[in-house]
A and B are shown apart, each in its own frame.
Chain A
Amino acid sequence: MATRRLFLQGAVGTAALAGAPAIGTTLPANRSDKLLALIDITHAQGGPFVAAAQTWGARTAALRGDPLALWHDAVLASAVQPAAILGLTTQGTLFCLERLGWELGLRVQLRIDHLPAPDGSWRHVAHTDLPAWAPDMLAGAGADFGLAAAHIALNSSDGAGDCTHAAPPPHPHRDSTPLVTWLLAAPHRA
């Protein structure tokens, strides 16, 4: 059985995506040491997402569905409180993380739902404006959209949008599991 540590080690060095823009251009660079990525390793898209986050200098932590213990260990008990948290998880996990994040003053600032179809294709639904290159990158990645999703999350501007209480888009294929890419960060206040 793959442990979390083995999974994360294996993911390092697989972050190349031809034609992609450089990682990390709009999140403030001085926050990279306070950037945490939480990734559901149950799903194949998780590995490249982890690698991209690590390349940018983020701490990474893996989970399998349930984020409760990880939140305590990687966030609450951590010596370095993350200024922003991003990830690729199920929608249910994000529902939990969004509410846990509220306790730290964090809000969902970016949300892209990834909806699988029976033919193996994926539809991507963003709740905020994305960079102009992002939709094509996601569409071109097919089922292997983990790296593209990480690039978009890492290149999104915190405060780009408020996705608080965002509703998951309709998904009629009840035997498949939608995923979601997200960014939790402190909102900009007027």
Chain B
Amino acid sequence: MPLPPHLSPQLWQEALTQLRAAVGPDALFTADDDVTLYRDAYSPVWGEAEERQASAAIAPNSTEQVQAVVRIANHFGIPLFPIATGRNLGYGGSASNLSGSVIVDLKRMNRIIEVDDKRHFAIVEPGVSYFDLYRYIQERGLDVWIDVPDPGWGSVMGNALDHGVGHTWSSYRDHFGSHCGLEVVLPDGEVMRTGMGAMTSAKTSGDFRYGFGPYVDGLFAQAGFGIVTRMGIHLMPRPECFLHRRVLAYRRQDIVPLVEVANKLEDAGLIGMPLYESPMFGAQFADKALRDIATAPDVWNGNAIDRYAAEKAMPVWQLGLSFYGPAEVVEAIWRHAQAQFAKAIPGARFETIETLHFPLSPQAEEAALHKVLIGVPNLNIFAIGARSATNPEPADGHLLFSPMVARSGEEVMKAQRLFTEGMREMGADFPMAYGPFTAPFTWMPRIFALTAGLPVSRSDPKVNQRSRETMRRLIELGARHGYGEYRTPPLFQDQVMATYDFNGNALRRFCETLKDAVDPKGIIAPGRGGFWPRAMRKEA
């Protein structure tokens, strides 16, 4: 494994001695067999010179130990890369931005400090997974729900700090948006708390996120300004009932009113996450006639798609709607929603998918159709063995291109065409990626992600080369048309940050100014978020 940059073997050994003393001999990992576990399993540069390799890993079990580690690293000039549980697959896993970094593995800090089911929040350490928190709540019969990503084995805190997302109400599925208060070890080893936690006597750090003064929490997400060791997060009160219903639309242009009505319902707080799909996405791979339609140059006028839909009685779009609340209330909202969709979309049909009343028995929970919609963490996304739009073959993994697209049907169709034709011009043949049936993801509130997965391989470098070349070109193409990435693996973070180019990249320059002020040596995750301290900047 590589040494930290600019550190002699002798100083490295001295640093290791001090780090070992700080956390104990069992919590410092220097053997290749151990450090290799921190490689990104979905790395698009697997086994190549560009792959980010750690020099060692260390697993402190308290904020005090994190402080000690940071101070030692600061003394020796060793870059650290903190991970919570390291499950950020598709966006870098546990790999750092800089080879030779020491991974600070916070899994052992896995205490659930508090769950309040009257004021609806939790306070957790980094190593608490969604599953841990879910079980804690279930075992105590607490009257709250968590919002979970897919998959649900990652860290509650780590996901939030990478702007991760979930599947229920807009108030909860933006996981950073629903966080409330941080405890952070700063690059000099000092501990800071934000929000009400900054007041020693306050008991409201899980309730009120702002406290007083500048709201600095955003500096600790997708960035290297400190190591977060504790976080509050708002939780959803457990609803009485969940309805999952579906709207079916039979013309390509129906995406326009479909989105308009769904936006209105969601922004009024009447529905949870809208779930857009096209039954034709999967069908095109089973029916050559439909695939021919999908790949024809004139597909974008929608005529052939609409004819096919009419002949086969197959919807072009389907929209899943989630309702949470008292039974009589959600049934009434569903009736209201049907009326709105029927008025806006002639010929729309409606389906009942699932009705659940809580609490669920274990059997009912296991039988639930879409567990993440009801806050049940699971790993089904790995286990089903099938591939999807964001999980293409080969099955080793994928890297995710996630451009942010305005929440309108017109914009979805425009972006579909842009990325489909763009990939064709690139000569990139990824049939699962983009086409006229690519549906928008709605994980992030008030925006669409037109996410595509590009395959990666741990055995075929050509696959990786093709995917990363395509990724770089997609980032560039998207940015030219205003579609920015919200999250990306370390390999692409500099490029993505460069696309946020207003006023000569003023955002990046401001981040660099802050980095130079609080972490001039680049001790905490240098390069994270696509900006570096002066000494490590390429122009330096």
| A contacts, CB < 8 Å to B | 40, 65-69, 72, 89-93, 95-96, 99-100, 102-103, 107, 162, 164-172, 174, 177-178, 187, 189
Contact (Cβ within 8 A) B131 A96: no
Whether B296 sits at the interface, judged by CB under 8 Å, is no
Contact (Cβ within 8 A) B383 A96: yes
**For residue B107, which residues in chain A have a CB less than 8 angstroms away from its CB?**
103
| B contacts, CB < 8 Å to A | 31, 33, 36-37, 39, 41, 87, 107, 131, 135, 151-153, 377-380, 382-387, 393-396, 457-460
**Nearest B-chain residue to A173, judged by Cβ:** B393
Q: When chains A and B are docked, how far (Å) is the Cα of A90 from the Cα of B378? A: 15
Option from A68, A91, A167 in Cβ contact (under 8 Å) with B152: A68
Q: When chains A and B are docked, how far (Å) is the Cα of A29 from the Cα of B460? A: 40
| Closest CB in chain A relative to B399 CB, distance in Å | 15
Interface centre among A96, A164, A166, A169 (most CB of B within 10 A): A96
Q: When chains A and B are docked, how far (Å) is the Cα of A103 from the Cα of B395? A: 23
Beyond the given pairs A93-B382, A164-B37, A178-B395, 9 more chain A to chain B contacts, judged by CB atoms under 8 angstroms and listed by A's residue number, are A65-B379, A65-B380, A66-B379, A90-B384, A96-B382, A99-B87, A162-B33, A168-B394, A174-B387
- Overall SS of chain B's interface: loop
Interface centre among A68, A100, A170, A177 (most CB of B within 10 A): A68
Q: When chains A and B are docked, how far (Å) is the Cα of A40 from the Cα of B384? A: 11
If A68-B378, A91-B385, A96-B382 touch, whether A168 touches B152 (CB-CB below 8 Å) is: no
Q: When chains A and B are docked, how far (Å) is the Cα of A170 from the Cα of B383? A: 17
**Nearest B-chain residue to A103, judged by Cβ:** B107
**For residue A178, which residues in chain B have a CB less than 8 angstroms away from its CB?**
385, 395
**Nearest B-chain residue to A170, judged by Cβ:** B394
**For residue A89, which residues in chain B have a CB less than 8 angstroms away from its CB?**
383
- Overall SS of chain A's interface: loop
Contact (Cβ within 8 A) A96 B396: no
Contact (Cβ within 8 A) A65 B384: yes
Residue contacts A-B, CB under 8 angstroms, 24 given: A40-B383, A65-B379, A66-B378, A66-B379, A67-B379, A67-B383, A68-B152, A68-B153, A90-B384, A90-B385, A92-B382, A92-B384, A92-B395, A95-B382, A96-B382, A100-B153, A107-B33, A165-B36, A167-B396, A168-B395, A171-B395, A172-B393, A174-B387, A177-B385
Option from B36, B87, B382, B457 in Cβ contact (under 8 Å) with A167: B457
| Closest CB in chain A relative to B112 CB, distance in Å | 15
| Closest CB in chain B relative to A86 CB, distance in Å | 17
Q: When chains A and B are docked, how far (Å) is the Cα of A165 from the Cα of B36? A: 9
**Nearest A-chain residue to B135, judged by Cβ:** A72
**For residue A40, which residues in chain B have a CB less than 8 angstroms away from its CB?**
383
Contact (Cβ within 8 A) A167 B458: yes
Q: When chains A and B are docked, how far (Å) is the Cα of A189 from the Cα of B31? A: 10
Q: When chains A and B are docked, how far (Å) is the Cα of A22 from the Cα of B426? A: 57
Q: When chains A and B are docked, how far (Å) is the Cα of A56 from the Cα of B384? A: 29
**Nearest A-chain residue to B285, judged by Cβ:** A174
Contact (Cβ within 8 A) B131 A68: yes
